[in-house]
Structure 1
């Protein structure tokens, strides 16, 4: 649904995005993660058809954003980082206005579209209120509603929970999950808990470059180097040395009431686990736990954005 190949984006002499490539499949909800200034918003503007790429190719729903930008915008719902709202308008008339701009000309179709997003975004309580009087949470809901009016196949959200209080974050998070059940969603954030709670896969960028593209679980495991936590019932003397002598084991360290066992290389994880099981059986040791260690997403993010290498 979204394909980015060798995208670079310049602002004068400044290179904001550097040779960036990734894909988002139909029906996926993918987090686009990176520190402030990493190039997230610039990339999303290109994907939404509002900025022509300096180099590389980007297609959305099979359409080239450089040569078919209008067609791309017809298929994409876009919420910029700073929600574009008219404060002097009331919610329902504002959405009706956006629907007209979107080309939904027939009154019945326009009314149905507006009513649909009012219900979907739970805006019924404020539909007659001036936008200037709305809380930040409701303003974000109105922003998402305007992005949904034309029933897009792809939804691009730039920092949708930025500046919200905890209750508002939960509401918007739930809405994103609901929307992801019916369309492709790519949303950016620098808030790690939001990414982890809303999607399984993340693309991480730093200084305009991709530094990771994987599931959250896989990134956590990778940050530990494939290490396992091994806990045994009444292990015999020399148990740690036994594990350290296994062919696929690089290092064994105490970790509370267990051992941290690291493979020689990440691709030797399965071999390491198999050898640990065999060693336990040979020594008549009962294993209580043999599980991969997972770092926190914060640890993963810090490592990726400091090292800057995938």
Structure 2
């Protein structure tokens, strides 16, 4: 890299190099002016004539840092306003966005993953055909499995709700018993005011307890109904499993029979004996 204070030996040094003198070419229409002016490092020389926009042609050969040089003819044509441009703006113009490479890599990754998944699905389908499992049977098994899973989730949620209601009912029943005992003690002590207060609170607690017990009964009925549905779905799933097992077994037996027939009919030694009249 040229040292500061020494004229650059290149024919057209870049204004960003640290030469004492630098060459710039300003172009506006057909008029051209070539001048030699000192340029500060990391700062472009401001335009001096009155056109609002000019084109600066950067030199092809320069020993400055790579990020300060354009790498193509289009990149070297930088539009400069009247007040010029600084190093940061120029770097933003010539630096490619990072997300462009990220998007390319992401697209390639998604494409390869999709291709691998397609190949895996194709291999699974061929394996199912070899085992004698039809797509309809596989779809029925998938549907019954999904329905059973959803029913089990609903059953667990209903069971948790029922348990919560039962805990609330037990707490309200304990409060009801406690308030009745306090009211009885207040009557024994002759404090009718406190006894009336405890009885009123007990009445409100009893209303809440009745409502909670009703909800518990409804939730318990719902739980029993969902439990029966889950049992029916489990039985249906077992039937489909047995059907798949029988289909796989029948296909395996058929393949073994066909293989035995093929071996017996295509055995070259037996054919040779038969042709020679030897059984």
* TM-score scaled by length of structure 1: 0.19
| Structure of larger gyration radius | 2
Question: Greater RCO between the two (CA within 8 Å, min separation 6)?
Answer: 1
Identify the structure with the greater helix proportion. Answer: 2
